[in-house]
A and B are shown apart, each in its own frame.
Chain A
Amino acid sequence: MPSINSYIKQSWRLLRQNRLAALLSILGTALAICMIMVFVILFIANTAAFKPESHRADTYYVTYVKTEGKADGRRIAMTGLGLPFIKECFYPLQSAEAVTAVVRDIWQKQILLSMDGRNTVTASILETDTAFWHVYNFDFVAGNPFSKATFESGLHEAVISEKMARSIFGTEQVVGKELKINFQVYRVCGVVKDVSRFADKAWADVWIPYTAGTHLFYNMEGIGGSFECYMLLKKGHNREDLQQELLKRIDNFNAGLSDVRANILHQPFSHLEKWMGGENSEVSVGKVFLRFGVIAFIILLVPALNISGIILAWTRKRIPEFALRQAYGATRQRIMSQVLLENLLVTLIGGLLGFILSYLALACMGDWLMITSLGQEQLSLQMVNGWVFIAVFILCLLLNLLSAVFPAWKATRQQISEALNS
């Protein structure tokens, strides 16, 4: 449309000529966008793929197992997974690219000590296997993950975060150096960039082979234990394949047991389902999105109605202008497009302001907004990605439509001759 420039130019002049109305309209838009953007940013930080959880869409989780009586289905225990159960049912999965087992005791921090005993910090330790480094995509600052040979031999090697490396050694170049974890000596084999707590499955301060750890006990014929299992789907397979194969393997496993059986209930869960509260029950992602959509719509509708009133008053003043444009060849549709386009400029300015305000809100109210399952996280650049901008733009368009369609329609309903003299 060759007249877009002309509309934008005129719209800008109108904004300057009607400063109060423009200011109210922009502020209303900004606050509405800000409110929703806080949710959108937190949603994206919790669900979008970013390092090291780069494959969130293809990662599935089994974090607990129910041990029940074979005869009566009576619940005996609800625990983490035992290693024998994982080795038999999870590690051999053909529809998974990689399967990793982890033990994380998030409530109990461990003590890290430099060899000379001068520097000591508390840290979260994650015990895992070599597949963990395949499922998650860490940035290594120095060194490498522990090797398969190290893992199988149960050698005391550790990957530590940059922050830990600096705290204990004062530098990140610490590969080959030793430190004490719970008073046992470990050799550092790799240093990784610090991980955001929003990547709660991969996050830790220190990663060690579980063969070197203390969580290898299991109970109930190997079903229960301390492990969680994360599976990266193989290309060409889908969730159904994974679930079917897993259930088949569990059936085979259960067949070999005499009195009890393992039941993973509705698992495995996708990352999104897990984040939406699918720890204990089946989750309908569609329903959650619908609920979120309805809330977002209501949050947008309230300011949209107010802004609509401002735009209505504004367009009413301009009815002779629209009539003149129609006299000179503009169709009704064209006039409506003009009003929508002009209003879009206001909503985009408001959207940009709202976008900035939402980050300020997150920065200022981080102590209750930026809480993850692992504690408070700081605002980071990982939370500014293309999806956030797309979300802002879509919200602006929606607000624009909600607030300007009626005034635009109203502006073109009058007879041209009447409108010219109104």
Chain B
Amino acid sequence: MITLTNLEKVYRTKEIETVALENVNLTVDKGEFLSIMGPSGCGKSTLLNIMGLLDQPTRGTVEIAGVQTASMDDKQLAAFRNKTLGFVFQSFHLINSLNVLDNVELPLLYRPHVSAKERREAAIAVLEKVGLSHRMRHFPTQLSGGQCQRVAIARAIIGNPEIILADEPTGNLDSKMGAEVMEILHKLNQEDGRTIVMVTHNENQAKQTSRIVHFFDGRQIQ
């Protein structure tokens, strides 16, 4: 589903050069739930950003769902992300000036030929799936952390993407809420067959996934 070949990411400033990823070769299979672990600053999030086409590698190639992404322009990348990828972030990244329903609808705003009614119906359906249909008129500031992350998951799956990329999805949650979020992610993987790549520091949560890869200083060590 995702193939990263000879991937390298270097951040350059006038004075220093920082190697964030070095010679990464990684394949994620369709339907897999992969965990990426490693200490802070080892390049996990950079890797996830490159997989999500939110950042570009300095060298190497990214192939997602059989498509080479290197030559895509801004418009093609945007359309590809919209159709294929869903994102769950540690800090939720909900828009505070939009209510839950509008936040969840967001990916469909950028999909052509989807009417307002269809967007609304789809948003209600995914909110029911994450158990938050009773909160759809609330604003993010009126929700708990766990509820915010469930809204973010609903937003990630509304466009029916094949791949979900989760960057420490439970990092800002207590253990109970974290467990609830993990349960939803497992359901999405097992019942809906979605491919999930998750960056985490939590070894217990990682152990529940189908595979773990470890990173250290920008290199894949396991």
Contacts and interface: CB of A to CB of B under 8 A. Distances in A.
Interface of A: 2-3, 5-6, 9-10, 13-14, 17, 320-321, 323-334, 415-418, 420
Given A6-B102, A417-B55, A331 B116 contact: no
B75 A2 contact: no
Nearest to B52: A327
B79 A329 contact: yes
Interface of A is mostly: helix
Contact of A331 (B78, B83, B96): B78
A17 B102 contact: no
B207 interface: no
A329 B56 CA distance: 16
B97 interface: yes
Chain A CB within 10 A, most for which of B82, B102, B109, B119: B109
B190 interface: no
B138 interface: no
A3 B98 CA distance: 13
Contacts of B49: 416-417
A328 B95 contact: no
B108 to A, nearest CB: 9
A87 B186 CA distance: 99
B74 interface: yes
A246 B72 CA distance: 68
Nearest to A332: B74
B218 to A, nearest CB: 16
Given A328-B107, A328-B110, A329-B110, A2 B115 contact: yes
Given A327-B52, A331-B74, 8 more contacts: A2-B109, A3-B110, A10-B97, A329-B78, A329-B79, A329-B110, A331-B78, A333-B75
B191 to A, nearest CB: 23
A337 to B, nearest CB: 12
A2 B89 contact: no
Contact of A420 (B82, B89, B115): B89
A236 to B, nearest CB: 50
B135 interface: no
B110 A324 contact: no
Contact of B110 (A17, A320, A334, A415): A334
B215 interface: no
Contact of B97 (A14, A330, A417): A14
Nearest to A1: B109
B93 A320 contact: yes
A415 B54 CA distance: 7
Contacts of B83: 329
Given A329-B78, A329-B107, A417-B49, A10 B98 contact: yes
Nearest to A412: B74
Contacts of A324: 93, 95, 106
B81 interface: yes
Interface string B68-100: 000000110011011100010100010111100
B55 A415 contact: yes
B48 to A, nearest CB: 9
Chain A CB within 10 A, most for which of B56, B75, B110: B110
B106 A328 contact: yes
B221 interface: no
Contacts of B187: none
B16 interface: no
A3 B111 CA distance: 10
Given A10-B98, A416-B55, A417-B54, A327 B87 contact: yes
A2 B114 CA distance: 8
Given A6-B109, A9-B102, A327 B95 contact: no
Interface string B28-64: 0000000000000000011001001011100000000
A321 B93 CA distance: 7
B183 to A, nearest CB: 24
Contacts of B74: 331-332
A262 B102 CA distance: 77
A420 B48 CA distance: 13
Contacts of A9: 102
Given A326-B78, A328-B110, A329-B79, A2 B116 contact: yes
B81 A328 contact: yes
B81 A327 contact: yes
Interface string B91-134: 00101111000100111011100111001000000000000000
A327 B54 contact: yes
8 contacts: A2-B116, A5-B116, A6-B98, A320-B93, A325-B106, A328-B81, A329-B83, A330-B78
A243 to B, nearest CB: 56
A331 B109 contact: no
B139 to A, nearest CB: 9
Interface string B187-212: 00000000000000000000000000
Nearest to A330: B110
Nearest to B152: A324
A34 to B, nearest CB: 30
A328 B93 CA distance: 12
Contacts of B55: 415-418
A416 B54 contact: yes
A5 B155 CA distance: 19
> 8 closest Cβ contacts across the A-B interface?
A329-B82, A329-B110, A417-B49, A417-B55, A416-B54, A328-B107, A417-B54, A3-B109
